[in-house]
Amino acid sequence: MARLSLPLHLPHEIIYDKMNHVPILFDHRNGYLTDIERLVSAVKSKRSSKTAFFVLSVLLSCILTWFPTQAAQRGQTAEISFTEEEKAYIDAGTTLKVGYVRDRKPVSFRGENGELAGISRHIFDRISQISGLNFEYVELPAGEVTYEYLQKEGFDLVTGVEYNEANKAAKGILMSDPYLSSRKVIVAKEGLSFKADADFTVAISTGSQTIRKVITAQYPNFKLVDYATMEDCLNAVRRGEADLLIQNQYIAEYWLYKPYYHNLLVIPVLEMNDQLCFSAVTPLDGTNSAVWKEKEILISIINKSIGQISYAEVSGYVIASVTENMYEYTIADFVFQYRYILFILGIAFVMICILIGVALRARIRSINARADAKAKSDFLSAMSHEIRTPLNGLISLNFLMSQNLDDKDKTASYLRQSSTVAQYLLSLVNNVLDMSRLQDRKMELEQKPVDLELLLTTVESVEKSCMEEKQIDFKSDVLFTHPYILGDAVRIQQVLLNLLGNACKYTQRGDSVTIKARQTENPEGNVTTAIQVTDTGCGMSEEFQKKIFTPFTQERDTVSQGNQGTGLGLAISALLAERMGGSLSVESKLKKGSCFTFVFVSKPATFPDQKALIDKTDSATASHGMPKILIAEDNDLNGQILVELLEGEGYQALHVENGKKAVEAFQASDYGEYGVILMDLLMPEMNGFEAAREIRALDRPDAESVRIFACTANTFQTDREKAFQSGMNDFISKPINIKELLSKLQC
């Protein structure tokens, strides 16, 4: 070995290993040898700032003082001498196609510009500069590349070929002198005890098949397994599929800088030096002597050029490629390296979010609970006021009637007033039930043919007396392109009566009220109906308009002013409009009037022939006449009142206390004796649903034809459906509207 002291005051010196052609750093303090390539790896791994500074100093000293002196040891001369044949080859200016393997960073790889980069590219550029040869670099496909493929694709050279005896002896291969000397290293999991005679499984990249012969020769017990890429090989070792990987030191250490391979280590194998050279692509059979001769000239030119490249230059290329192409630390690497900390932080973050969420939810619950409590309190307060006020009047009227029984005129007046108050209480109860069902989305709207023109005429006639009494100028501007629609006529009428009723109530004598209706057809085939009710009344403030559709909302104490109302009508109307796929809105100015717009969406429909409907009704009325009526009612007072009311209208009626007795009474009756049964739903022993089913199941002809009317205070849609399913014909809600009942009996 040749020695050369460094121009540094350090206990090191560089020794040149002539046998292996590598520079080695000798540490006098610890007595170990380290080659220059290991120094480069030290820079790359950034073990410490002091180590990095020391390594860079040593490399700089090598370049400036030691490497230039080694040019003579490689046979380098001041001038290069090419033969006439070589000069002619160069002068031809042929561009040589060079193949390289892409994942051999930093030795050879595809750069950002898509061309060959790394140590090999530096060497090629230097050879081109020295010799004048032109090169084109093409990436080789993944997997094992055969010489047949190289010949077919027109490759002239392949870079990164291992310079060893096995390759030199191979048939049809022409190799150059080595242009880069390193060594092979073993990559394995921490704790692996390497033994040359062990039965290790070795991962081999398909792009590095030339190492297979060397490994097989030196380690015959090793089992070799192919993987597509270098990264696949490392992953196999990491997962335990392979015991180890043998690879060029530069390439191995580049990948091991990735945190994902933190559990893999490099184990030096000094017996396996790694020298890389160029290989000319030649005919395998060697019969084409002209081509063979041409390749020999090419290799001779390359060898002479390599001889002109000093160790200092090569080491400079190594340093540049290693430092410029260090493994780039990615976000994925950061996440993997600090995965446990990030996991703990993530858990902590989730826990904090959960705690914040729980706290916010508790806070929201508290706010909602207070809001609900206030809403319930306001509701109960409003209900108490709305119910107690008319009840007070009703109780007082009953007292006055008891004091004036002999005065028929006063008693009749008190009775009329009592009826008005009772109707108001009934309206209040119905409105509250409607609000509850609409808010809980339990109200089902019917989808039956509706004659909008007839419906509006009915609504106008109902409100006509109010308008005439206050001398209000009532105008109608109605134009329907689709007068027949599918919808719930009762609920549409309910909204319009609310709007017209309010318009009449809050419009002064001599002012005007206008109802306007228009329709448009949607692309989906639905019809949008818009009905406006405009008045020139007292109007309302902007502040009140924001809460006008809130239950029990009235801008003034209208009850005390004679304008009695529940404060639920507009709230219910708004919910009904929403359920019909539309809306209810208002525009108003104080003392200038208001305009309510009711919009709903429906499907067009064809209405049945009115004459046929009238004939059918007349026929049914004639057939029924004055039927005898069976009343099933568990409340004796209600039953007695019904009997007296019906007998006063000329009907015969029998009252029984429950559903069981109703079935027995019908069984004991003559055929056709009872034409109608008024059936309460909730009764002891047998309820109305069961009784209706029992009657329909009796083996007598009139069991099917007798009409059964449900008479109940349960007015929900589910009760209606259950009544019809049990075999009932119609549904009458309590308190019973006598006029409605008599009308149904006459049908």
What does CATH list as the number for 82-179+277-309+324-329?
Answer: 3.40.190.10
CB atoms under 10 Å from CB of 45, counted, come to 14
Does residue 218 or residue 64 have the better pLDDT? 218
User: Does 271 or 48 have the greater pLDDT score?
Assistant: 271
How high does pLDDT run on average in the chain?
A: 78
| pLDDT for 215 | 79
Please determine whether the domains at 184-272 and 450-604 fall in the same fold group of CATH. Answer: no
Write down the pLDDT at residue 373: 73
CATH of domain 450-604: 3.30.565.10
Strands 448-451 and 674-679: unpaired
527 or 106: whose pLDDT is higher? 527
- Mean pLDDT computed over 9-17: 43
- For the cut 70, the answer to whether the pLDDT of residue 555 exceeds it is no
What CATH number should be reported for the domain whose range is 184-272?
3.40.190.10
Higher pLDDT, 132 or 214: 132
Is the pLDDT assigned to residue 31 strictly greater than 50?
Answer: no
- Output 500 or 379, whichever has higher pLDDT: 500
Q: Which is it for the CA torsion 665, 666, 668, 673, positive or negative?
A: positive
Pair of tokens at residue 270:
């000094």
| 59 vs 202, higher pLDDT | 202
* CATH 1.10.1060 for domain 341-434: no
Is the pLDDT confidence value at 342 over 90?
Answer: no
**Which element (helix H / strand E) includes 215?**
helix 210-218
- What is the reported pLDDT for 60? 46
Among the listed residues 457, 466, 548, 475, the one whose alpha carbon sits nearest the alpha carbon of residue 507: 466
Distance CA 215, CA 699 (A): 102
Phi, psi dihedrals of residue 288, rounded to the nearest 5°: -85, 90
Among the listed ranges 102-106, 201-205, 447-451, which one has the minimum average pLDDT value?
102-106
What per-residue confidence (pLDDT) applies to 618? 46
What is the C-alpha separation between 736 and 629, in angstroms, rounded? 16
Q: What is the mean pLDDT of residues 264-293?
A: 74
Predicted pLDDT at 48:
41
What pLDDT score does 620 carry?
41
Query: What integer pLDDT is reported at residue 682 of this predicted model?
Result: 87
How high is the pLDDT of residue 4?
Answer: 36
Look-up of token digits 């306001």: 378
Q: How many other C-beta atoms lie within 10 A of the C-beta of residue 262?
A: 13
Task: Tell me how many degrees the CA angle 541-546-550 measures, rounded to the nearest 5.
Answer: 115
pLDDT for residue 685 is more than 80: yes
Supply the Cα-derived Rg of the chain in whole angstroms.
52
Strands 95-100 and 134-139: parallel
How much of the chain exceeds pLDDT 90, in percent?
19
Residue 531 corresponds to which tokens in the numbers above? Answer: 């009905």
Structure tokens at 261: 């391979």
With beta carbons less than 8 A apart as the criterion, state whether 275 and 178 touch: yes
Domain spans, the chain: 2-70, 82-179+277-309+324-329, 184-272, 341-434, 450-604, 610-746
Q: What is the pLDDT of residue 602?
A: 93
pTM reported for the whole predicted model: 0.42
What is the arithmetic mean of pLDDT over 369-387?
69
Q: Is the confidence at residue 617, as pLDDT, over 60?
A: no
Q: Tell me how far apart the alpha carbons of residues 109 and 207 are, in angstroms, rounded to a whole number.
A: 12
Residue 2 clears pLDDT 50, i.e. is over it: no
Residue 112 to residue 131: CA distance in whole angstroms: 27
Contact (Cβ atoms closer than 8 angstroms) between residue 245 and residue 202: yes
CA distance 366 to 431: 30
Q: State whether residue 638 is helix, strand or coil.
A: helix
User: Residue 205 corresponds to which tokens in the numbers above?
Assistant: 């990249």
Specify the 3-state DSSP secondary structure of 634.
coil
In angstroms, the first-to-last Cα distance of the chain is 127
Whether the pLDDT of residue 64 is over 50: the answer is: no
Give percent helix, percent strand, percent coil of the chain, each to the nearest 5: 50, 20, 30
pLDDT digits (tens, 9 = 90+) for 328-338: 677 877 787 77
Q: What is the 3-state secondary structure (H, E, C) of 665-705?
A: HHHHCCCCCEEEEEECCCCCCCCHHHHHHHHHCCCCCHHHH
Joined tokens for residue 195: 């033994």
Residues 6+ apart with CB under 8 A from 365: none
610-746, what's its fold?
A: Rossmann fold (3.40.50)
pLDDT at residue 718, as a whole number: 75
Average pLDDT over residues 721-726: 89
Residue 361 has pLDDT above 70, yes or no: yes
Residue 667 tokens read as 């069984």
Spatial contact of 295 and 174, defined as CB atoms under 8 Å apart:
yes
pLDDT of residue 659: 93
Return the H-helix or E-strand segment holding 384: helix 339-403
* SS3 state of residue 520: strand
What is the model's pLDDT at position 637? 81
Helices assigned H by DSSP within 157-227 = 165-169, 210-218
Rounded CA separation 482/492 (Å): 16
User: Which spans in 548-589 are helix H?
Assistant: 569-579
Environment class of 177 (CB within 10 Å of its CB; exposed 0-12, middle 13-18, buried 19+)? middle
